[in-house]
Chains A and B, each alone.
Chain A
Amino acid sequence: MLKTSTTNVVPEKKVEAKNKTKFRLTANDKYYASIFAGPSLFLLGLFTFYPMFRTLYISMFLTNTFGNTTLFVGLENYVKLVTSPDFVSSMWVTLVYVVGVTFFTIAMGLLLANLASQKLPGIAIFRTLYSVTMGVSVSVAAIFWLFIFNPSAGFFTLLTKLLHLPTVNWLSNPTMAMWAIIITTVWMHLGFVFLVFLGAIESVPTTLYEAADVEGVSKHYQFFHITLPMISPTLFFISTITIIGSFKSFGLIDLITKGGPTNATNMLVYRIYNDAFFGGNYAKSSAEAIILTIIIAFFTYLQFKFLEKKVNY
């Protein structure tokens, strides 16, 4: 195995570049590489790539009642989708949801983490409280929030009645239903995001803040110009997983709004599920799945292209 390491007597700076160009796999290396990588490649192929290509294949056919591909239609399914106002509105709804969830999750997570990072007596109680949603399952959260949103006996309804405000019908008003779903999702994400942010904020060296204190920099300015840039890799990580995660949100939507009212919360993933397992239209839902994959890939690409450079200091 030592064959690959070339001994260099060149100036130190050039060592790295030199190694890169001279790196070649010997037959022996390839043998070992295939032994190590083989099993995982096999599993990946079986459970990831095969279903992916199968989805792509199905999306170019029509499927009958039993889900079998019967008629090749090329890109017809795609053309119909992107020209259908229903599907386009679903994309918009998804976008609003993803942006809303990502923004509020990060804003709330940062706020709470920043508060909880203060050294105050009793702060440990709040740290536990803020992170408690991490242990709550989707179904429990849905029941809990459905109770809160209930139009006749819900917490919000009682509150508005108490304050003599007009009652908001959370789940039958399209705008409010979107808010309800966003609030619930943010609440679900918050525990984890809070903990990660708290960890990141705590690991910022205190001398940076002390240096700023001595220079007369306000706490507010310190947060935006020291804390935020210092935890930017974490911000990047959280925003990436929150965006991808909310694109894939399913359970809460299924349990709380079922995509309604008037499709106001009918996100792409929920639509895919409904078309396939409820409507039995596998071809359409495969095409939708491919479109969703492309959208997520596009977002992830954008993030890496524009954000990653800025966060690696």
Chain B
Amino acid sequence: MTKYKKMILSLILVIGVIFLGVFGNNISAQTSANNRIPVVFWHEMGGPAEKTLLKLVNDFNKSQTKYQVIPKYQGSYDTAIQKIFQTHGTNTSPAVFQSSNVSTAQVLHSGFTTPIQKFVDADNYDLSKISPVARAFHAQGGKQQAMPFNTSQPVLYYNATLLEKYGITPPSVSPTYSEITKIAKELYEKSNHQVKGMTVQIYGWLLEEAIANNGGMFTNRNDGHTGNPTKVSINNPEAIEFFKWIRENIKNGDFMDYGAGSMASTNQTSGFLTNKVGMYVQSSASMSQLNKKNKNKLGVTYFPHADGKKANGVSIGGAALWISNDKPKEIQQGAYEFIKYTVRPEVQAQWQKSTGYMALNKDSKDTKILQQFYAKHPEGKIPSQQLQNTVPNFGNSGILLEGMQSIRKLEENAMEKIYRGGDIEKTLQQNEDAINEIVYNQNRANGYK
């Protein structure tokens, strides 16, 4: 009897698997069966942002009847870009894809995309509504190549409740290094060494931003905006000043070092939320997360800059949307329609509210969604202000250089060594040399002059 039971069970299992295969096919076949033009969209948004993105796609699909955008999650930015390059020209490749700003130069050089400017011109679309600093990263010779999508800037977060408790004046709108040092020290001393004043994560992006915000250049040829860079400079006055600031805080004892491991970012966030550290620099995209779990009042202000200087403004982080040129015209057009949809004022407003990425459309701030949000979280305005107040120039419009993933590793290597007491200029020079070695080799391998 039990023998038969086992046989029947396994039979059911096998039949089930076959059915699943058949039905699975049907399900995927259905999407293209309703006479819409399919537009495959590869993205790298995980977690809560993915939910918001899927709703966005769904809303787009409902808003019209011509195109069907099919979103597909591709994992991390760095693995996704490799997949995009490897599948280009095959029928698995996407029609529109999200690519990290770090890979901008690579995508530009690949020649795998159709510049969005072509569609904008044909459509007479008004790009001026979109944040100029964000656009500048993805423009070449005044022509828009990709559309910035999820965009963030680094900001300084502080624990407003703690500062209030110890009677410390919160930082000004665009604080200087010495201002932050003073507050960090005060917080550390007044809390009887229970709260560390500040931390800066070992993260190459933050070093790049510090250079940009103080008017420096990361590479020659204007950060790659006027030709492919051949030289990188991290041993420059802007970087040295940045590290001197951090070292002063380390010396004061008010600096918390969370290391460079995979948990550094998580530990940093939990340290901030549990009153172990009072201030830290991080992407503005963290804000929605910080608002959700925070028992304290969240303070936000601009990325700090060196004393006696005016802040040059920081460039954007995040990713942009690109249109592949290996798909037929009507599919590419569909991709453009989708991209156009994503930067609508109310879509961007909802995007900022749910994810923390900044709304790129100037009209977004007037929407009901953001008006209500700002009423509840006035500090939520700060990153958008920082973005809007930045006048784009070559220094704050992002770095157009390939191999940024490996280069950032070396930047982080330098940061970590300096945090642990390494000589600032010597360490920067060593890692600058190593970075230039990479740049030299990749230019040689790619035949760039």
A147 to chain B, nearest CB (A): 10
A68 to chain B, nearest CB (A): 9
Closest B residue by C-beta to A274: B409
Contact A150 B263 (CB under 8 A): yes
Q: Does A308 contact B (CB under 8 A)?
A: no
Contact B274 A152 (CB under 8 A): yes
Q: Mark A171-191, 1 if CB is under 8 A from B, else 0.
A: 110100100000000000000
Q: Does A133 contact B (CB under 8 A)?
A: no
A262-B262 contact given A64-B445, A71-B444, A281-B403, CB 8 Å threshold:
no
Contact A279 B261 (CB under 8 A): no
Q: Does B106 contact A (CB under 8 A)?
A: yes
Question: In the bound complex, what is the Cα–Cα distance between A66 and B82 (angstroms)?
Answer: 8
Chain B residues in 8 Å Cβ range of A233: none
A42-50, A250-258, A289-297: which lies at the B interface? A250-258
CB under 8 Å from chain A, chain B span 395-449: 402-403, 405-406, 409, 412-413, 416-417, 420, 434, 437-438, 441-442, 444-447
Contact A171 B445 (CB under 8 A): no
A283-B445 contact given A169-B259, A172-B261, A260-B260, CB 8 Å threshold:
yes
Closest A residue by C-beta to B407: A279
Q: Does B71 contact A (CB under 8 A)?
A: no
CB under 8 Å from chain B, chain A span 13-30: none
Contact A277 B79 (CB under 8 A): yes
Question: In the bound complex, what is the Cα–Cα distance between A279 and B438 (angstroms)?
Answer: 10
CB under 8 Å from chain B, chain A span 146-175: 146, 150-153, 169, 171-172, 174
Question: In the bound complex, what is the Cα–Cα distance between A44 and B315 (angstroms)?
Answer: 51
Contact A172 B260 (CB under 8 A): yes
B96 to chain A, nearest CB (A): 20
Q: Does B110 contact A (CB under 8 A)?
A: yes
Question: In the bound complex, what is the Cα–Cα distance between A257 and B262 (angstroms)?
Answer: 6
A66-B444 contact given A150-B263, A262-B420, CB 8 Å threshold:
no
CB under 8 Å from chain B, chain A span 58-85: 62-67, 70-71, 80, 84
Chain A residues in 8 Å Cβ range of B271: 152
CB under 8 Å from chain B, chain A span 125-152: 146, 150-152
A129 to chain B, nearest CB (A): 28
Q: Does A86 contact B (CB under 8 A)?
A: yes
Cβ 8 A contact of B416, one of A66, A86, A262: A262
Closest A residue by C-beta to B422: A262
B99 to chain A, nearest CB (A): 13
Q: Does A229 contact B (CB under 8 A)?
A: no
Chain A residues in 8 Å Cβ range of B260: 172, 258, 260-262
A171-B263 contact given A62-B441, A152-B270, A281-B403, CB 8 Å threshold:
yes
- Using CB atoms and an 8 Å cutoff, list the residues of chain B in contact with chain A: 78-79, 82, 85-86, 106, 109-110, 257-264, 267, 270-271, 274, 276, 402-403, 405-406, 409, 412-413, 416-417, 420, 434, 437-438, 441-442, 444-447
14 contacts between A and B (CB under 8 A): A65-B402, A67-B85, A70-B445, A171-B261, A256-B262, A258-B262, A260-B259, A261-B259, A261-B420, A275-B406, A279-B438, A280-B106, A281-B406, A283-B445
Per CB-CB distance, the 7 closest pairs between chain A and chain B, nearest first, are A172-B259, A279-B406, A62-B445, A260-B260, A171-B261, A64-B446, A262-B416
